[in-house]
Amino acid sequence: MQEITGNIYIEDQFHGVTLGVIVTPRGLIQIDAPPSPEDVRSWRAALMNLGGGMERALVNLDAHPDRTLGARAMDCIVIAHEKTASTFRTRPNTFKAQGEETGADWESIPGLGSVRWVPPEISFLNQMTLHWGDTPVLLEHHAGPSSGSIWVRMPEEKIVFVGDAVLKNQPPFFAGANLTDWISALEILLSPAFKGYTIISSRGGVVTTNVVKTQLDFIKHVNEKLDKVTTKKTNPAAIEKLVTSLLTWFKAPAARQKQFAQRLRYGLLHYNSRPSHVSGQFNEMQ
């Protein structure tokens, strides 16, 4: 576990997303959950040593299975954006570890079996503030990677968790994305309003503004390329060529090349086949 400040920690040693926790006098505000049941048990044990009050809340930064599969096992109140909550209302009650390969991390976890989803008990639209200590914790809607993507921001500490808005040296998930909104969110992150902030990616931990700029350049590049290949019918050949080109942006280890290629392939094919992606209506399933 890495200490960001005296009461804010991250953990990036579990398979899946980088986790966060904010220790307050009222209790722990946890950010995302590991998808592996074994890792959930280890994470919960580690949290017991942090102190703070007795209450627990879990914030899901969007509806992606990598960060939501373990939510039920965390056994606490779940908070998310209303569009994330809406996504859970349209999903089957039980997740089954089968189907299309999306390039997500949960797909390489053996023995997942069936998992019951836990929909958020608390949701919001634009912003929500948690007053659990001396300084506020802001939950803010910043669509882009998905319609229900949010950030967790501590303005006093100048720390922000940005979820999948920024990924370090790995391709994003595009199946549920809106690239125009994503570009706008990254421009906000690079604006003077976030000067001096410690930025925490859910796939890479602490990132620099250079990483954010690279992410912005990449999303703009993908947006331009997709505009050229978008037709009334999906063009798998054009998408496959684009996947090969986009992989050169990442210095991925050989063991993950196949996964990252499939992540891009699945995401771009689904993004390209959505007639409504230009208008900003998108499916949260990634």
Quick check: is 286 in a domain? no
- Each residue of 88-128: pLDDT tens digit? 988 887 777 666 688 899 988 887 777 888 899 999 999 99
This prediction has a pTM of: 0.91
pLDDT of residue 251: 84
SS3 147: coil
58-67, 227-236, 267-276: least confident range: 227-236
Residue 233 has a pLDDT of: 60
Q: Is residue 150, in this structure, part of any structural domain at all?
A: yes
Place of tokens 């209450």: 55
Cα separation, 149 vs 280, in Å, equals 13
Range of the domain at 234: 2-273
**Please, are residues 124 and 42 in contact by the beta-carbon 8 Å criterion?**
no
Query: Span 80-87, mean pLDDT?
Result: 94
Domain membership flag for residue 279? no
Whether 62 contacts 146, CB under 8 Å:
yes
Q: Three-class SS of residue 245? A: helix
Segment 230-250 mean pLDDT: 80
Q: Residue 238 falls within a domain, yes or no? A: yes
- Give which of 61, 34, 60, 62 is closest to 46, Cα–Cα: 34
> What is the CB-side half-sphere exposure of residue 190 using CA atoms within 13 A?
18
Containing 218, the helix (H) or strand (E) segment is helix 209-229
Does the pLDDT value for residue 278 go beyond 50? no
Q: How many domains does the chain have?
A: 1
The answer to the question of residue 110 being in a domain is yes
Q: Has residue 173 been placed in a domain? A: yes
Give a yes or no: residue 144 inside a domain.
yes
Show the tokens assigned to 83. Answer: 């569009």
pLDDT higher than 50, residue 279: no
> Any idea what the CATH number is for the domain that residue 151 is in?
3.60.15.10
Least confident range of 163-167, 192-196, 276-280:
276-280
How many residues belong to the chain?
286
